[in-house]
Amino acid sequence: HRAHGHTLARGTHPNAVMAELYGKLEGCSHGYGGSMHLYDVERGNLGANAVVGGGLPAITGAALSFKLRGEPRVAVAFFGDGATNIGTFHESLNLAQLWQVPAVFVLEDNHWAESTPESQHSPIRDLSKRAEAFGMKVMKADGQDVEEVHRVTQRALKYARDGKGPVFLHVQTERLVGHYIGDPQVYRDKEQLQELQETRDPITLLREKLGVSDEEFEEADREVQELVDGSVEFAKAGTDPKPEDALNNIYA
């Protein structure tokens, strides 16, 4: 799911992420979050949301709290192109711009809302125009270029942190696999998909730019696989929550 990579990038250990996917108490959300709602508040991760566009209002609210407290922090939301059709998207951007809060709204635009192509769910091709309609600052990046994403993200964060208002970061990317594991993708052109996989894989592109040898790449791949395997074993050996634990942390 989208949040898995973001959670790892924020510094949550793979063991804690995998344990959460297994619903264990050792998970980063102590088994309450699972795959689609995992969170890690200690690392500033307010949580993913299975509801499309459901997390955006929380980010606007978090950014407002940073502004009111005078904290040099930035709230960041991640979402796909399908979410730009949802009411909470427009409401969140509207208030973020109105209140000039330190937020960055990251659109991971892979041109597919599950199995629906962008041309069938949006009347415009440049989705950043939806942010421009609110007067919001727009920045764009090629999502297949790791270094460019890093550079533009740093600019966006600085803009928001300097008190200039929110930023809409439009990341143009490609979906190289299915919406879920086992997705047959019968709705996609197979030749076009194969071409994208062969020419637009960000890992391959970065590897070529850095001049990473086959030996170096294979060694790094082995290290990652060992880390993943270790996290799976950690999760399997984790503690199952008790039925009564389901009643904890309920506030409404």
| The predicted structure's pLDDT at residue 130 | 98
CA gap 132, 109 in Å, rounded: 16
**Residue in 150, 43, 131 with CA at minimum distance from that of residue 79:** 131
Concatenate the DSSP letters of all residues of 210-237 into one string.
HT--HHHHHHHHHHHHHHHHHHHHHHHT
| The predicted structure's pLDDT at residue 252 | 80
First-residue to last-residue Cα distance in the chain: 27
Query: At the topology level of CATH, where does 2-243 sit?
Result: Rossmann fold (3.40.50)
Tokens matching residue 165: 């208002």
| The predicted structure's pLDDT at residue 33 | 93
Residues of the chain with pLDDT under 50: none
| The predicted structure's pLDDT at residue 38 | 92
CA gap 8, 149 in Å, rounded: 17
**Residue in 90, 95, 93 with CA at minimum distance from that of residue 104:** 93
Whether 121 and 91 have beta carbons less than 8 Å apart is answered as no
Residue 93 burial (CB < 10 Å; 0-12/13-18/19+)?
Answer: buried
| The predicted structure's pLDDT at residue 249 | 82
| The predicted structure's pLDDT at residue 124 | 96
For 174-213, b/e burial (b = at least 16 CB within 10 A) is bebeeeeeeeeeeebeeeebeebeeebebeebebeeeebe
Write the CB contacts of 112 (distance below 8 Å, at least 6 apart in sequence).
Answer: 81, 118, 175, 179
Strand-pair partners of 141: 171
**Residue in 48, 107, 101, 97 with CA at minimum distance from that of residue 75:** 101
> pLDDT per residue over 37-77, tens digit each?
999 999 999 999 999 999 999 999 999 999 999 999 999 99
Domain regions of the chain by residue span:
2-243
Give the residue carrying structure tokens 């309920």: 250
| Phi, psi (deg, nearest 5) at residue 63 | -65, -40
pTM: 0.95
